[in-house]
Amino acid sequence: MNLNPLNRTLLLSSLIGTSAMATELEIRIDNLTHGNHFTPVLLAAHDSDTHLFSVGEMASSALQKMAEGGDIADLMTLVESANGITVSNPASGLMAPGQRVDAIMLDSQAMTHLSMVAMILPTNDAFVGLDSWAIPTTPGTYTIDLNGYDAGTEANDEIINGGGMPGVPGIPAAPGGNGGANATGISDMSSNDKVHIHPGVLGDTDLNGGMSDLDSRVHRWLNPVARILVTVK
């Protein structure tokens, strides 16, 4: 079919308009870890200029709050102020090891990218993350494996002390009730203060002392730590 320049322009405009139409997403999240919980999850559909985090960059104060204490409120505000769409806490609380949450519905509207974050407990500032994944325009189901990241905002001392506010060292809690106490602390030799792949926890097997309050038999992980399935309607 031969089209004159005007008709080609009209056809191109029509295709662009079609690709920008609302896309219904159905999302499933799996916690793949052996012994770690995720704090309330934040899912966000947004434009290509919005990022909840960026690997190799300094963490924002909003990301720090989430990575150290599980607080997603400021990240929600970030997305919504850029006209994005959020779904928060689809598990209605913590996601336990091995837990699956499915049938999460998200209308992405005109937004083109998808992100997800949640703190990993028990850690100092580790989080599971998906950064600005381009939402496919072709219907189907897409599988994405997610890594654990280190926000770079706090030393990984592995001491459970109820800490969780930005700038307060320590781990808020071990939700599974399988953490230790009275640890002297791991000496974190890392100088990387940017967002990076988390090196994982060391832990030990002394629940009443030792260097770490984390149990190496329970809390250690290998990436990926989560998997999401995104069905584009």
User: Is the residue at 174 inside a domain?
Assistant: yes
User: Is the residue at 201 inside a domain?
Assistant: yes
User: Is the residue at 12 inside a domain?
Assistant: no
Amino acid at 161: N
Where residue 208 sits, what CATH number does that domain have?
A: 2.60.40.2130
Contact 91, 40 (CB under 8 A): yes
Of 225, 227, 201, 223, which is closest to residue 214 (Cα–Cα)? 201
pTM of the predicted model, to two decimals? 0.90
User: Is the residue at 7 inside a domain?
Assistant: no
pLDDT digits (tens, 9 = 90+) for 72-93: 999 999 999 999 999 999 999 9
User: Is the residue at 111 inside a domain?
Assistant: yes
Contact 61, 74 (CB under 8 A): yes
At how many degrees (to 10) do helices 61-69 and 73-81 cross? 150
ω into residue 224 within 30 of 0, thus cis? Answer: yes
User: Is the residue at 13 inside a domain?
Assistant: no
CB neighbour burial string for 205-216, b if at least 16 within 10 angstroms, e if fewer = ebeeebbbbbbe
- What domain range is 220 assigned to? 22-232
Tally of domains in the chain:
1
Task: Report the alpha-carbon distance of residue 37 to residue 128 in Å, rounded.
Answer: 10
Residue labelled with tokens 């079919």: 1
User: Is the residue at 15 inside a domain?
Assistant: no
Query: How far is CA 160 from its chain centroid?
Result: 22
Low-confidence ranges of the chain (pLDDT < 50): 1, 3, 5-20
pLDDT of residue 189: 83
Residues 157, 160, 165, 168, CA torsion sign = negative
Name every residue whose Cβ is closer than 8 Å to that of residue 150 and which is 6 or more positions away in sequence. 125, 126, 156, 190, 192, 195, 196, 197, 198, 199
User: Is the residue at 55 inside a domain?
Assistant: yes
pLDDT digits (tens, 9 = 90+) for 143-160: 999 999 999 999 999 999
